[in-house]
Amino acid sequence: MQKFKNSIDLPAAADEVVTLITTEEYLRFRYEDVQVQNFSLTIEQNDSQAFSYSLVREIDMAGKVPKMARKIVGDSMTVTQQQRWDRSAEPYPGTMTVEAQGLPGSISAATEVVAVSANSSRLVVNGEVYVSIPLVGGQLEKLLVSRIEESFFQSGETVIEYIQRGK
């Protein structure tokens, strides 16, 4: 098992960030991509207390993973991401799980948007990756943590861009 922890500062109040990122519009802005096929988004809860969704997408993996991993995941991978945000009070906690079809293991994380000041906040993620494949599981976990970190910072940049569009 490999653990990961990251944070990024955002140029908006915590409640504003949560309001912006817990919408279908934001999720489509963040995840619809030319490298993604078969994008499917289901909003499971959307009220004043919480926002949760399930996102299924097929991601082109060609050229993005080492040959050792490509033998396991193939040229494309169907990924299911489930996330829930608590909108009721600050700090705004969330949970996320990601499953990749054909990859025995799991990715899970606790997320949180916390106030830094009246006009800024911090998005924090703490998680772990587990791949149950003998001999190569640890290598795949390290690769996935690296990809998760890249994706987290890409998400942070997307949130900042989205905030700036909304202001």
Question: Where residue 98 sits, what CATH number does that domain have?
Answer: 3.30.530.20
Interstrand relation of 120-131 and 2-10 (parallel, antiparallel or unpaired): antiparallel
Question: pLDDT 10s per residue in the chain (167 long)?
Answer: 899 999 999 999 999 999 999 999 999 888 887 566 788 999 999 999 999 999 998 876 666 666 666 666 666 778 899 999 999 999 999 999 999 887 788 899 999 999 999 999 999 999 999 988 777 778 778 878 888 888 888 888 999 999 998 75
Note down the domain range covering 38: 2-166
Question: How many whole angstroms from its chain centre is CA 119?
Answer: 24
pLDDT of residue 66: 62
Contacts of residue 44, defined as CB under 8 A and 6 or more positions apart, other chains included, come to 52, 53, 54
pTM, rounded to two decimals: 0.85
Q: Which two tokens stand for residue 96?
A: 């996320």
Number of domains in the chain: 1
pLDDT of residue 62: 63
pLDDT of residue 3: 94
pLDDT of residue 56: 92
